Amino acid sequence: MGNTCRYVVSATGKNGEMYYTHCKDKAELKKWLSEHQEQVNMKDVKIKDKNRHPLLRWLNF
């Protein structure tokens, strides 16, 4: 069985909580972000796209 998640989200909450979740598409990612917007520091949200080309990941600034 293959891995079906595309996005990996790592975030820090406003009270020091750590959030780590997987999302299978962009719609699910946007839904998760909108649901947790009050609890999460939006500056500390890190989203990793697992289907992105490795060279483009390296060039991401």
Q: Is residue 1 part of a domain?
A: no
Q: Measured in whole angstroms, how far is the alpha carbon of residue 40 from the centre of its chain?
A: 12
Task: Identify the pLDDT of residue 1.
Answer: 46
H-type helices in the chain, by residue range?
A: 26-35, 54-59
Report phi then psi at 55, rounded to 5. Answer: -65, -40
**Does 19 reside within a domain?**
yes
**Tens digits of per-residue pLDDT, 6-16?**
999 999 999 99
**25 falls within a domain:** yes
**42 domain-assigned:** yes
26 within some domain: yes
pLDDT at 2 over 60: no
For residue 48, report the phi and psi dihedrals to the nearest 5 degrees. Answer: -110, 125
- Structural domain containing residue 35: 7-57
Burial of 11 (0-12, 13-18, 19+ CB in 10 A): buried
The whole-model pTM stands at 0.78
Count of domains observed in the chain: 1
